[in-house]
Amino acid sequence: MKFDEVLHWLRETQPAALARLWQHADAVRRRCVGNDVHLRGLVEISNRCARQCTYCGLRAGNEALPRYSMTDDEILQCAHRAVELGYGTLVLQSGEDAGMDPQWLADVIRRIRAATPLAVALSMGEWPPDVLALWREAGADRYLLRFETADQELFLQVHPPRAGQELKRLELLRALRDLDYEVGSGVLIGLPGQTYAELALSIKLMAELELDMVGCGPYIAHPATPLGREPAGAGPEQVPATALMTCKVLALARLACPHTNIPATTALATIDGETGYEAGLRCGANVIMPNLTPWQYRRLYEVYPGKVGVMDEADRHLEIRRRIEAVGRKVGSGAGDSPRRTIARMSRTACAGGGV
Protein backbone atom coordinates (compact mmCIF):
# COMPACT_ATOMS: atom_id res chain seq x y z
CA MET A 1 0.00 0.00 0.00
CA LYS A 2 1.31 3.43 -0.94
CA PHE A 3 2.02 6.16 1.62
CA ASP A 4 -0.93 8.27 0.35
CA GLU A 5 -3.31 5.35 0.70
CA VAL A 6 -2.18 4.73 4.28
CA LEU A 7 -2.66 8.42 5.01
CA HIS A 8 -6.11 8.30 3.46
CA TRP A 9 -7.14 5.38 5.67
CA LEU A 10 -5.81 7.06 8.80
CA ARG A 11 -8.09 10.03 8.05
CA GLU A 12 -11.11 7.93 7.01
CA THR A 13 -14.22 8.38 9.19
CA GLN A 14 -17.02 6.73 7.18
CA PRO A 15 -18.19 3.54 8.95
CA ALA A 16 -18.95 1.72 5.68
CA ALA A 17 -15.47 2.41 4.29
CA LEU A 18 -13.83 1.43 7.58
CA ALA A 19 -15.82 -1.82 7.63
CA ARG A 20 -14.10 -2.66 4.32
CA LEU A 21 -10.70 -1.98 5.91
CA TRP A 22 -11.45 -4.25 8.90
CA GLN A 23 -12.69 -7.03 6.62
CA HIS A 24 -9.65 -6.83 4.41
CA ALA A 25 -7.20 -6.84 7.33
CA ASP A 26 -9.11 -9.72 8.91
CA ALA A 27 -8.97 -11.74 5.67
CA VAL A 28 -5.20 -11.14 5.34
CA ARG A 29 -4.76 -12.11 9.00
CA ARG A 30 -6.69 -15.35 8.46
CA ARG A 31 -4.79 -16.23 5.29
CA CYS A 32 -1.32 -15.34 6.55
CA VAL A 33 -1.28 -16.24 10.27
CA GLY A 34 -4.45 -18.31 10.68
CA ASN A 35 -7.21 -18.36 13.31
CA ASP A 36 -5.10 -19.10 16.38
CA VAL A 37 -4.72 -16.40 19.01
CA HIS A 38 -1.42 -16.85 20.84
CA LEU A 39 -1.29 -16.03 24.54
CA ARG A 40 1.93 -14.61 26.00
CA GLY A 41 2.22 -14.32 29.78
CA LEU A 42 3.56 -10.88 30.69
CA VAL A 43 5.73 -10.49 33.80
CA GLU A 44 6.74 -6.95 34.72
CA ILE A 45 9.96 -7.79 36.54
CA SER A 46 11.02 -4.31 37.69
CA ASN A 47 9.63 -0.77 37.63
CA ARG A 48 13.03 0.82 38.27
CA CYS A 49 14.00 3.10 35.40
CA ALA A 50 16.91 5.40 34.66
CA ARG A 51 15.11 7.18 31.78
CA GLN A 52 13.07 10.35 31.71
CA CYS A 53 10.57 9.52 28.95
CA THR A 54 7.99 12.30 29.11
CA TYR A 55 5.05 9.94 28.45
CA CYS A 56 5.79 7.07 30.86
CA GLY A 57 4.82 6.77 34.53
CA LEU A 58 7.93 4.70 35.31
CA ARG A 59 10.25 7.64 34.45
CA ALA A 60 12.99 8.25 37.02
CA GLY A 61 11.51 11.69 37.76
CA ASN A 62 8.33 10.12 39.18
CA GLU A 63 9.66 10.02 42.73
CA ALA A 64 6.25 9.27 44.24
CA LEU A 65 6.26 5.76 42.72
CA PRO A 66 7.53 3.03 45.09
CA ARG A 67 10.07 0.91 43.20
CA TYR A 68 10.41 -2.89 43.12
CA SER A 69 12.48 -5.58 41.43
CA MET A 70 11.26 -9.18 41.41
CA THR A 71 13.60 -11.93 42.61
CA ASP A 72 14.68 -14.78 40.34
CA ASP A 73 12.52 -17.22 42.32
CA GLU A 74 9.45 -14.99 41.93
CA ILE A 75 10.04 -14.83 38.17
CA LEU A 76 10.44 -18.62 38.01
CA GLN A 77 7.11 -19.03 39.84
CA CYS A 78 5.45 -16.86 37.16
CA ALA A 79 7.02 -19.05 34.47
CA HIS A 80 5.49 -22.16 36.07
CA ARG A 81 2.13 -20.39 36.27
CA ALA A 82 2.38 -19.59 32.53
CA VAL A 83 2.91 -23.28 31.80
CA GLU A 84 -0.07 -24.25 34.01
CA LEU A 85 -2.24 -21.78 32.11
CA GLY A 86 -1.18 -23.30 28.80
CA TYR A 87 0.78 -20.30 27.54
CA GLY A 88 3.71 -20.89 25.19
CA THR A 89 5.67 -17.69 25.79
CA LEU A 90 6.83 -15.65 28.75
CA VAL A 91 7.46 -11.94 28.19
CA LEU A 92 9.77 -10.30 30.73
CA GLN A 93 9.31 -6.54 30.74
CA SER A 94 10.98 -3.85 32.80
CA GLY A 95 11.85 -0.19 33.13
CA GLU A 96 15.40 0.53 32.00
CA ASP A 97 16.88 -0.64 35.28
CA ALA A 98 20.48 0.60 35.22
CA GLY A 99 21.18 -1.27 38.48
CA MET A 100 20.26 -4.66 37.05
CA ASP A 101 23.17 -7.01 36.43
CA PRO A 102 22.79 -8.37 32.86
CA GLN A 103 24.46 -11.59 34.02
CA TRP A 104 21.72 -12.04 36.64
CA LEU A 105 19.03 -11.82 33.93
CA ALA A 106 21.00 -14.25 31.73
CA ASP A 107 20.88 -16.75 34.61
CA VAL A 108 17.13 -16.21 35.05
CA ILE A 109 16.58 -16.83 31.31
CA ARG A 110 18.68 -20.01 31.54
CA ARG A 111 16.65 -21.24 34.50
CA ILE A 112 13.34 -20.60 32.71
CA ARG A 113 14.55 -22.39 29.59
CA ALA A 114 15.82 -25.36 31.61
CA ALA A 115 12.66 -25.73 33.72
CA THR A 116 9.93 -25.04 31.14
CA PRO A 117 9.20 -25.33 27.41
CA LEU A 118 8.44 -21.58 27.23
CA ALA A 119 9.80 -19.24 24.58
CA VAL A 120 11.27 -16.16 26.28
CA ALA A 121 10.66 -12.64 25.00
CA LEU A 122 12.38 -9.63 26.55
CA SER A 123 11.25 -6.01 26.70
CA MET A 124 13.94 -4.35 28.79
CA GLY A 125 14.55 -1.12 26.86
CA GLU A 126 17.88 -0.05 25.36
CA TRP A 127 20.93 -2.17 26.21
CA PRO A 128 24.25 -2.40 24.33
CA PRO A 129 24.61 -5.13 21.69
CA ASP A 130 27.01 -7.20 23.86
CA VAL A 131 24.33 -7.43 26.58
CA LEU A 132 21.65 -8.31 24.01
CA ALA A 133 24.02 -11.03 22.75
CA LEU A 134 24.51 -12.37 26.30
CA TRP A 135 20.73 -12.73 26.76
CA ARG A 136 20.33 -14.32 23.31
CA GLU A 137 23.00 -16.89 24.18
CA ALA A 138 21.25 -17.56 27.50
CA GLY A 139 18.16 -18.57 25.52
CA ALA A 140 16.02 -15.46 24.95
CA ASP A 141 14.21 -15.86 21.62
CA ARG A 142 12.51 -12.51 21.08
CA TYR A 143 12.97 -8.84 21.90
CA LEU A 144 10.37 -6.08 21.93
CA LEU A 145 11.52 -2.50 21.54
CA ARG A 146 9.02 -0.02 20.13
CA PHE A 147 10.45 2.80 18.02
CA GLU A 148 7.40 4.73 19.40
CA THR A 149 7.43 7.28 16.53
CA ALA A 150 9.23 7.42 13.18
CA ASP A 151 9.80 11.17 13.69
CA GLN A 152 13.30 11.22 15.19
CA GLU A 153 12.94 14.81 16.45
CA LEU A 154 9.73 13.97 18.32
CA PHE A 155 11.31 10.74 19.61
CA LEU A 156 14.26 12.62 21.12
CA GLN A 157 11.90 15.13 22.71
CA VAL A 158 9.76 12.50 24.43
CA HIS A 159 12.59 10.03 25.04
CA PRO A 160 15.66 12.08 26.01
CA PRO A 161 18.95 10.19 25.79
CA ARG A 162 20.42 8.79 28.99
CA ALA A 163 23.56 10.68 30.06
CA GLY A 164 26.63 8.97 28.61
CA GLN A 165 24.61 6.49 26.57
CA GLU A 166 24.76 6.73 22.81
CA LEU A 167 22.46 3.88 21.81
CA LYS A 168 20.07 4.52 18.93
CA ARG A 169 16.82 2.55 18.85
CA LEU A 170 16.72 1.93 15.12
CA GLU A 171 20.31 0.67 15.20
CA LEU A 172 19.46 -1.58 18.15
CA LEU A 173 16.56 -3.05 16.17
CA ARG A 174 19.06 -3.97 13.44
CA ALA A 175 21.49 -5.37 16.02
CA LEU A 176 18.69 -7.54 17.40
CA ARG A 177 18.00 -8.88 13.92
CA ASP A 178 21.72 -9.63 13.44
CA LEU A 179 21.68 -11.53 16.74
CA ASP A 180 18.89 -13.70 15.32
CA TYR A 181 16.20 -12.54 17.75
CA GLU A 182 12.60 -12.39 16.62
CA VAL A 183 12.24 -8.61 16.58
CA GLY A 184 9.20 -6.67 17.76
CA SER A 185 8.60 -2.97 17.55
CA GLY A 186 5.76 -0.50 17.11
CA VAL A 187 4.38 2.88 18.04
CA LEU A 188 2.41 4.87 20.56
CA ILE A 189 -0.76 6.11 18.89
CA GLY A 190 -1.84 9.70 19.54
CA LEU A 191 1.31 10.83 21.30
CA PRO A 192 0.99 14.64 21.63
CA GLY A 193 2.76 16.10 18.59
CA GLN A 194 2.17 13.03 16.42
CA THR A 195 0.70 13.91 13.01
CA TYR A 196 -1.11 11.74 10.48
CA ALA A 197 1.88 11.96 8.13
CA GLU A 198 4.22 10.76 10.90
CA LEU A 199 1.95 7.82 11.68
CA ALA A 200 1.81 6.86 7.98
CA LEU A 201 5.63 6.96 7.92
CA SER A 202 5.71 4.77 11.05
CA ILE A 203 3.59 2.14 9.30
CA LYS A 204 5.97 2.24 6.33
CA LEU A 205 8.90 1.81 8.74
CA MET A 206 7.26 -1.30 10.26
CA ALA A 207 7.32 -2.92 6.82
CA GLU A 208 10.90 -1.78 6.12
CA LEU A 209 12.13 -3.25 9.40
CA GLU A 210 10.56 -6.63 8.50
CA LEU A 211 9.27 -7.01 12.03
CA ASP A 212 8.26 -10.33 13.55
CA MET A 213 5.96 -8.58 16.02
CA VAL A 214 4.20 -5.23 15.82
CA GLY A 215 2.88 -3.82 19.11
CA CYS A 216 0.83 -0.61 18.97
CA GLY A 217 -1.33 0.97 21.64
CA PRO A 218 -3.01 4.28 22.30
CA TYR A 219 -1.13 6.87 24.34
CA ILE A 220 -2.77 7.28 27.77
CA ALA A 221 -1.87 10.43 29.73
CA HIS A 222 -0.18 9.83 33.09
CA PRO A 223 -0.58 12.78 35.51
CA ALA A 224 2.92 12.25 37.03
CA THR A 225 4.64 12.89 33.67
CA PRO A 226 5.48 16.13 31.83
CA LEU A 227 3.30 15.16 28.84
CA GLY A 228 0.43 14.09 31.10
CA ARG A 229 0.39 17.49 32.78
CA GLU A 230 0.13 19.36 29.46
CA PRO A 231 -3.20 19.92 27.71
CA ALA A 232 -3.95 17.11 25.23
CA GLY A 233 -2.32 17.50 21.80
CA ALA A 234 -4.37 19.72 19.51
CA GLY A 235 -4.54 20.95 15.93
CA PRO A 236 -5.99 19.42 12.78
CA GLU A 237 -2.98 17.15 12.15
CA GLN A 238 -2.77 15.75 15.70
CA VAL A 239 -3.58 12.00 15.72
CA PRO A 240 -6.26 11.23 18.34
CA ALA A 241 -5.38 8.58 20.94
CA THR A 242 -8.61 6.64 20.43
CA ALA A 243 -9.64 3.01 20.13
CA LEU A 244 -10.83 3.70 16.56
CA MET A 245 -7.42 5.09 15.54
CA THR A 246 -5.71 2.11 17.21
CA CYS A 247 -7.85 -0.28 15.17
CA LYS A 248 -6.94 1.56 11.97
CA VAL A 249 -3.23 1.24 12.81
CA LEU A 250 -3.60 -2.48 13.64
CA ALA A 251 -5.39 -3.08 10.34
CA LEU A 252 -2.81 -1.11 8.33
CA ALA A 253 0.04 -2.83 10.18
CA ARG A 254 -1.49 -6.20 9.23
CA LEU A 255 -1.62 -5.14 5.56
CA ALA A 256 1.95 -3.75 5.70
CA CYS A 257 3.34 -6.80 7.55
CA PRO A 258 1.00 -9.70 6.65
CA HIS A 259 2.93 -12.49 8.43
CA THR A 260 3.70 -10.59 11.62
CA ASN A 261 2.40 -11.40 15.09
CA ILE A 262 0.26 -8.46 16.23
CA PRO A 263 -1.17 -8.18 19.77
CA ALA A 264 -4.50 -6.64 20.70
CA THR A 265 -2.72 -4.58 23.35
CA THR A 266 -3.50 -3.99 27.01
CA ALA A 267 -3.62 -0.23 26.34
CA LEU A 268 -6.39 -0.80 23.76
CA ALA A 269 -8.25 -3.01 26.25
CA THR A 270 -7.76 -0.27 28.87
CA ILE A 271 -9.40 2.55 26.89
CA ASP A 272 -12.07 0.23 25.48
CA GLY A 273 -12.47 -2.29 28.31
CA GLU A 274 -15.70 -3.90 27.16
CA THR A 275 -14.63 -4.79 23.64
CA GLY A 276 -11.00 -3.71 23.22
CA TYR A 277 -9.54 -7.20 22.77
CA GLU A 278 -12.38 -8.21 20.43
CA ALA A 279 -12.00 -5.05 18.34
CA GLY A 280 -8.26 -5.66 17.99
CA LEU A 281 -8.75 -9.33 17.08
CA ARG A 282 -11.29 -8.38 14.39
CA CYS A 283 -9.04 -5.92 12.61
CA GLY A 284 -5.79 -7.83 12.26
CA ALA A 285 -4.47 -8.85 15.69
CA ASN A 286 -3.60 -12.48 16.56
CA VAL A 287 -1.95 -12.24 20.00
CA ILE A 288 -3.03 -11.29 23.55
CA MET A 289 -0.59 -10.78 26.42
CA PRO A 290 -2.35 -11.54 29.73
CA ASN A 291 -0.64 -10.10 32.80
CA LEU A 292 1.05 -12.61 35.14
CA THR A 293 2.83 -10.08 37.37
CA PRO A 294 2.24 -10.84 41.08
CA TRP A 295 -0.51 -8.66 42.54
CA GLN A 296 1.70 -6.81 45.01
CA TYR A 297 3.80 -5.47 42.11
CA ARG A 298 1.22 -5.10 39.38
CA ARG A 299 -0.24 -1.81 40.58
CA LEU A 300 3.29 -0.38 40.81
CA TYR A 301 4.06 -1.03 37.13
CA GLU A 302 2.09 2.04 36.25
CA VAL A 303 3.26 2.97 32.77
CA TYR A 304 -0.13 4.68 32.42
CA PRO A 305 -3.06 4.85 34.87
CA GLY A 306 -6.11 2.57 34.95
CA LYS A 307 -4.38 -0.37 33.26
CA VAL A 308 -6.76 -3.25 32.73
CA GLY A 309 -6.16 -6.17 35.11
CA VAL A 310 -4.82 -3.91 37.86
CA MET A 311 -7.93 -2.49 39.45
CA ASP A 312 -9.53 -5.79 40.40
CA GLU A 313 -7.97 -9.09 41.33
CA ALA A 314 -10.33 -11.23 39.27
CA ASP A 315 -8.66 -14.08 37.46
CA ARG A 316 -8.84 -12.87 33.89
CA HIS A 317 -7.26 -15.90 32.26
CA LEU A 318 -10.49 -17.83 31.80
CA GLU A 319 -12.29 -14.69 30.77
CA ILE A 320 -9.73 -14.00 28.02
CA ARG A 321 -10.09 -17.54 26.64
CA ARG A 322 -13.86 -17.17 26.61
CA ARG A 323 -13.65 -13.83 24.81
CA ILE A 324 -11.31 -15.28 22.14
CA GLU A 325 -13.71 -18.14 21.47
CA ALA A 326 -16.72 -15.78 21.45
CA VAL A 327 -15.28 -14.02 18.38
CA GLY A 328 -14.88 -17.33 16.56
CA ARG A 329 -11.17 -17.78 17.17
CA LYS A 330 -9.12 -20.47 18.84
CA VAL A 331 -6.45 -20.24 21.53
CA GLY A 332 -3.16 -21.23 19.90
CA SER A 333 -0.94 -23.95 21.34
CA GLY A 334 2.86 -23.95 21.41
CA ALA A 335 5.11 -20.92 21.31
CA GLY A 336 3.48 -19.16 18.36
CA ASP A 337 6.79 -18.41 16.65
CA SER A 338 7.05 -15.74 13.98
CA PRO A 339 5.37 -16.91 10.75
CA ARG A 340 7.36 -14.20 8.96
CA ARG A 341 10.61 -15.81 9.97
CA THR A 342 9.51 -19.29 9.03
CA ILE A 343 8.55 -18.02 5.59
CA ALA A 344 11.72 -15.95 5.21
CA ARG A 345 13.66 -19.12 5.91
CA MET A 346 11.75 -21.09 3.31
CA SER A 347 12.27 -18.16 0.89
CA ARG A 348 9.61 -15.57 0.48
CA THR A 349 6.17 -16.41 -0.90
CA ALA A 350 3.65 -13.77 -1.87
CA CYS A 351 0.81 -13.12 0.52
CA ALA A 352 0.57 -9.36 0.25
CA GLY A 353 -2.46 -7.26 1.09
CA GLY A 354 -3.33 -5.74 -2.29
CA GLY A 355 -6.00 -3.03 -2.58
CA VAL A 356 -8.98 -2.75 -0.27
State the residues that interact with ligand SAH by CB under 6 A: 55-56, 93, 95-96, 123, 125, 145-146, 148, 188, 217, 219-220, 222, 267, 303-304
- Considering beta carbons, is residue 217 or 233 the nearer one to ligand SAH? 217
Q: Are 269 and 276 in contact (CB under 8 A)?
A: yes
299/305 Cα distance (integer angstroms): 9
- In the complex, the smallest distance separating the C-beta of residue 79 from ligand SAH, rounded to whole angstroms, is 19
- Considering beta carbons, is residue 28 or 58 the nearer one to ligand SAH? 58
- Considering beta carbons, is residue 38 or 146 the nearer one to ligand SAH? 146
190/219 Cα distance (integer angstroms): 6
174/132 Cα distance (integer angstroms): 12
- In the complex, the smallest distance separating the C-beta of residue 134 from ligand SAH, rounded to whole angstroms, is 18
What backbone torsions phi and psi does residue 217 show, to the nearest 5 degrees? -140, 160
Q: Please count the other Cβ atoms lying within 10 Å of the Cβ belonging to residue 35.
A: 12
Which residue is nearest to ligand SAH, using beta carbons? 125
Q: Please count the other Cβ atoms lying within 10 Å of the Cβ belonging to residue 319.
A: 12
C-alpha distances out from residue 352 to 8, 260, 314, Å: 19, 12, 41
- Considering beta carbons, is residue 32 or 303 the nearer one to ligand SAH? 303
What backbone torsions phi and psi does residue 107 show, to the nearest 5 degrees? -65, -40
- In the complex, the smallest distance separating the C-beta of residue 289 from ligand SAH, rounded to whole angstroms, is 11
- In the complex, the smallest distance separating the C-beta of residue 36 from ligand SAH, rounded to whole angstroms, is 24
- Considering beta carbons, is residue 40 or 222 the nearer one to ligand SAH? 222
179/173 Cα distance (integer angstroms): 10
- Considering beta carbons, is residue 25 or 45 the nearer one to ligand SAH? 45
What backbone torsions phi and psi does residue 37 show, to the nearest 5 degrees? -110, 120
What interhelical angle do 102-115 and 129-138 show, nearest 10? 20
- In the complex, the smallest distance separating the C-beta of residue 232 from ligand SAH, rounded to whole angstroms, is 12
